[in-house]
Homo-oligomer: A and B are copies of this chain.
Amino acid sequence: MKKSLGAKTLVYPTPVLVVGTYDKAGKPNVMTASWGGICCSQPPCVAVSLRKATYTYSNILERKAFTISIPSEEHVKQVDYFGLVSGRTMDKFAATKLTPVKSKLVDAPYVKEFPVVLECQLVHVFELGVHTQFVGEVLDAKVEESALGMGTSVDLKKIKPLIFVPDNQDYYGIGNFVGKVFSVGQGV
């Protein structure tokens, strides 16, 4: 039997995305967001939804760019901190001793220590309600060499991305390989 929980956004898994921007003065900032993901293959685009009150919101509109850095489990404390305080009053890079790297492709910084980075040019802004959805075209994806398996294939077990659990407010890690896409369903 299913139980009705009302009008709620429950999606499992949701990602833990660290959005990098510069403010007007050029100070690098980061915030953690989980309302987002891939939204188009060509042009390659990702979406992230933010509240207007966030510092990152105005930074993206000002600079027309942002990065997404994807952290590993080992960064959970810093990532959680990025969601606890505002870049208006804090220098989050200094506080966490993480390193901002200026993107050569877009006007935004990314987190050097995180294993996956997307450099995004702002292409759409959609007002949805309390959240505004920013769609960025990915100009480049960068992955830590130690997280690559054979060739340029990403090894998820080396990235160890975090999962955010809506409602519960938990962070989880990723688990084990279950099957190959467009393969395990052949026998149905």
Residue numbers of A with Cβ under 8 A of B are: 1-15, 17, 34-47, 49, 68, 70, 73, 76-84, 95-96, 116-118, 124, 126, 128-131, 133, 135, 137-145, 148, 152-154, 156, 159, 161-188
Contact = CB atoms under 8 A, between A and B. Distances in A.
Contacts of A138: 7-9
Nearest to A5: B141
A112 to B, nearest CB: 8
Given A35-B41, A173-B178, 18 more contacts: A8-B44, A9-B44, A9-B118, A12-B161, A13-B15, A13-B163, A34-B38, A39-B133, A40-B133, A41-B130, A43-B128, A83-B181, A84-B182, A124-B126, A154-B167, A154-B168, A164-B181, A169-B181
A49 B139 CA distance: 20
A76 B117 contact: no
Contacts of A17: 11
Nearest to A135: B128
A143 to B, nearest CB: 6
